[in-house]
Amino acid sequence: MNIIGPDYLIFGVDDLPASIEYLTAFGLKPVGVDATGGLFEALDGTGIIVRAKGDPSLPAPLKTANMLRQQVYGVASPADLDAIEAELSKDRRVTRLADGSLETADDQGFALKFQTTKRRALMMPAEKINAPGAPAQRAPNEIGVWEDMPAAPRSLSHVVLFVPDIAKAADFYCNRLQFVITDTLVGAGPFLRPKANDDHHTLFFIRTPDYMQGCEHLAFHMGGPTELMVAGTRLVKSGVQSFWGPGRHKFGSNWFWYFNSPLGCHFEYDADMDKHDDTWTPREAPMGPEASQIVLFEMREKWAPGGPPPGAGKGPKPE
Amino acid sequence: MSGAAQQVITGRYLCHIGDVADGIARGFAVSGLRPKVIVVRKNGHLHAYLDACPHYTGGTPMAWKSDAYLNGAGTHLACHSHGALFELATGECVLGPCLGQSLTKIDVTITATGEVFAAI
């Protein structure tokens, strides 16, 4: 079962115009979007599909107020769809659609779809850095940053779910769909990667009460920490509310910056995540500020030391 | 509301009542206070709350962008972290992660000339 990761996340939202404004500001490209919503894609074609919550084309909502309607997983080939159908049909209904894709649900009622992946191969350099002792990554006269540098989300990275039963969730994804646990934040939950993806995680669970089940956040990969901070700064300047970051996580080593959204969950830019293979030994750490980040910053308005001398412009000093 | 010219106001200035039209919410920064104060007017009544969703200890800002505090229908204050909804008149969470908890209500005084002061 060569599951690669999420191709699309589908939402049924309370405020469609606000969501369209948000997804555009986030840097995703609308593809065939009209007044009923549509797909907002990253550079590799993965992305977010958004519709009004009453749209009849949407899968049924969760029992909670969360707006996530379906997770669409990309797989490597039609043979992988056959393998998933054979496995999951043992104990649940799996619907084969006309295009060969599969629809079903996990053990806790999250709607799932599996399709031969729609993602496009990207051929782009990562952020380049220069450091003493290492070969320069940027050639002489090649500058690192400029005001209008591109900083677009490259690929849908991961989804984080609020789940009532961590053991049941981990069992389903690991034992039925061949995901692997890479690390665990004890008190929150495990990080998972699917077999055909070496990213530290495409999926993370956070234990919550039944009434919170849903999507906590989703993340898009950026080209590096500079792109992440440039994109985040532009987003905040447009008025969007920062939630957490920028900073860098310990598990996964990825840079992060989270923002509020009108889709009922956080949106994250991430960058420079660890890669793993099957020789990796999973780690555990208790959930908390120390375990979750190596550094955390908070954005402030641009400022520079200097400026006029003290007292300048205030007129003569009183005697 | 007292119309006395000598009215003594205690509290911090938030806004002029004309800054918050009926049916909308806005956030106002108060010097020395980390969260903004949300002022919302509905059916002629003015309500104010700390911009701090009780889902997380210490609270977290609720708008998705500047002044975007309401749900799509404009019936509730919404936290755009996880979609929690709060009653406009009471601040009580009626949907979402902080179900049963409430926003921190801020008492306000409105002067004869329409200035809104927060009792903080």
Q: How many domains does chain A have?
A: 1
Classify residue A88: in a domain, yes or no.
yes
Judged by CB atoms closer than 8 Å, whether chains meet at A65 and B83 is answered as yes
Average pLDDT over residues A212-221: 97
Alpha carbons A147 and A296: distance in angstroms, whole number = 24
Neighbours of B113 (CB within 10 A): 9
Judged by a CB distance cut-off of 8 A, whether residue B52 touches chain A is: no
Contact A195, A2 (CB under 8 A): yes
Alpha carbons A218 and A192: distance in angstroms, whole number = 14
Average pLDDT over residues A193-211: 96
Classify residue A72: in a domain, yes or no.
yes
Judged by CB atoms closer than 8 Å, whether chains meet at A241 and B71 is answered as no
Chain B residue with CA closest to A18: the answer is: B72
Chain B: closest CA distance from residue A4 (Å): 27
Q: What angle do CA B103, A159, A209 make, to 5 degrees?
A: 45
B42, burial (CB in 10 Å: exposed 0-12, middle 13-18, buried 19+) = middle
Q: Give me the CATH number covering residue A199.
A: 3.10.180.10
Q: How many domains does chain B have?
A: 1
Contacts of B71 in chain A (CB under 8 A): 14-15
In what helix (H) or strand (E) does residue B117 lie, and over which residues does it extend? strand B115-118
Classify residue A219: in a domain, yes or no.
yes
Determine the pLDDT at residue B8. Answer: 65
Q: Is the confidence at residue B7, as pLDDT, over 90?
A: no
| A88: containing domain | 3-120+152-296
In what helix (H) or strand (E) does residue B109 lie, and over which residues does it extend? strand B108-110
Looking at per-residue pLDDT, the higher value among B56 and B87 belongs to B87
Classify residue B5: in a domain, yes or no.
no
> Which residues of A make CB contacts under 8 Å with B?
13-16, 18, 22, 65-67, 208, 211-212, 214, 216, 238-241, 243, 259-262, 264-266
Classify residue B4: in a domain, yes or no.
no
Judged by CB atoms closer than 8 Å, whether chains meet at A65 and B85 is answered as yes
Judged by CB atoms closer than 8 Å, whether chains meet at A211 and B99 is answered as yes
Q: Is the confidence at residue B89, as pLDDT, over 90?
A: yes
Q: Is the confidence at residue B6, as pLDDT, over 60?
A: no
Classify residue A16: in a domain, yes or no.
yes
Task: Give the residue carrying structure tokens 């209008």.
Answer: A148
| ipTM topping 0.95 | no
Q: Give me the CATH number covering residue B16.
A: 2.102.10.10
Which tokens sit at A144? 């690192």
pLDDT band at residue A319 using 50, 70 and 90 as cut-offs: very low
Classify residue B38: in a domain, yes or no.
yes
What pairs with residue B42 in β-bridges?
B45
Judged by CB atoms closer than 8 Å, whether chains meet at B65 and A240 is answered as yes
Chain A: closest CA distance from residue B75 (Å): 12
Q: What is the full DSSP assignment across B2-70?
A: ---TT----SEEEEEGGGS-TT-EEEE--TT-SS-EEEEEETTEEEEEES--TTSTT-----SBTT--B
Classify residue A132: in a domain, yes or no.
no
B20-53 per-position pLDDT tens digit: 999 999 999 998 899 999 999 999 999 999 999 9
**What value does the mean pLDDT of chain A take?**
95
What pairs with residue A39 in β-bridges?
A31, A49
Which tokens sit at A155? 């690929």
Contact A297, A247 (CB under 8 A): yes
Q: What is the full DSSP assignment across chain A?
A: --EEEEEEEEEEES-HHHHHHHHHHTTPEEEEEETTEEEEE-TTS-EEEEEETT-TTSPPPPSSS--EEEEEEEESSHHHHHHHHHHHTTTS--EEPTTS-EEEE-TTS-EEEEEE--PPPP--PPPP---TTS--SS-TT--S--TT------EEEEEEEEES-HHHHHHIIIIIT--EEEEEEETTEEEEE-TT--BS-SEEEEE--GGG-EEEEEEEE-SSHHHHHHHHHHHHHTTBPEEEEEEE-STT--EEEEE--TTSSEEEEEE---B--TTPPPEEEESSHHHH-SEE--------S--SPTTTTS-SPP-
Q: Is the confidence at residue B3, as pLDDT, over 90?
A: no
Determine the pLDDT at residue B120. Answer: 86
Determine the pLDDT at residue A142. Answer: 97
Judged by a CB distance cut-off of 8 A, whether residue B94 touches chain A is: no
Contacts of A265 in chain B (CB under 8 A): 82-83
Contacts of A239 in chain B (CB under 8 A): 65-66
Task: Give the residue carrying structure tokens 């949300």.
Answer: B38
Judged by a CB distance cut-off of 8 A, whether residue B80 touches chain A is: yes
Classify residue B37: in a domain, yes or no.
yes
Judged by CB atoms closer than 8 Å, whether chains meet at A266 and B63 is answered as no
Determine the pLDDT at residue A310. Answer: 66
Nearest to A264 among B65, B66, B83 (CB): B83
Determine the pLDDT at residue B1. Answer: 45
Average pLDDT over residues A120-143: 97
Classify residue B7: in a domain, yes or no.
no
pLDDT band at residue A91 using 50, 70 and 90 as cut-offs: very high
Alpha carbons A215 and A66: distance in angstroms, whole number = 7
- Mutation target for A interface from B34, B81, B94: give the one with most A CBs within 10 A: B81
Q: Kindly provide the b/e burial profile for residues A22-53, where b requires at least 16 CB atoms within 10 angstroms of the residue's own CB.
A: bbebbbbbbeebeeebbbbbbbbbbbbbbbbb
Determine the pLDDT at residue A281. Answer: 98
Judged by a CB distance cut-off of 8 A, whether residue B62 touches chain A is: yes
Interface contacts (A, B; CB < 8 Å):
64
Chain A: closest CA distance from residue B96 (Å): 6
A23-63 per-position pLDDT tens digit: 999 999 999 999 999 999 999 999 999 999 999 999 999 99
Classify residue A304: in a domain, yes or no.
no
Chain B: closest CA distance from residue A217 (Å): 9
Residue A86's identity, in one-letter code, is A
B46-76 per-position pLDDT tens digit: 999 999 999 888 899 999 999 999 999 999 9
Nearest to B64 among A67, A208, A262 (CB): A262
**What value does the mean pLDDT of chain B take?**
91
Which tokens sit at A151? 């900083």
Judged by CB atoms closer than 8 Å, whether chains meet at B72 and A241 is answered as no
Classify residue A61: in a domain, yes or no.
yes
Classify residue A46: in a domain, yes or no.
yes
Q: Is the confidence at residue A209, as pLDDT, over 50?
A: yes
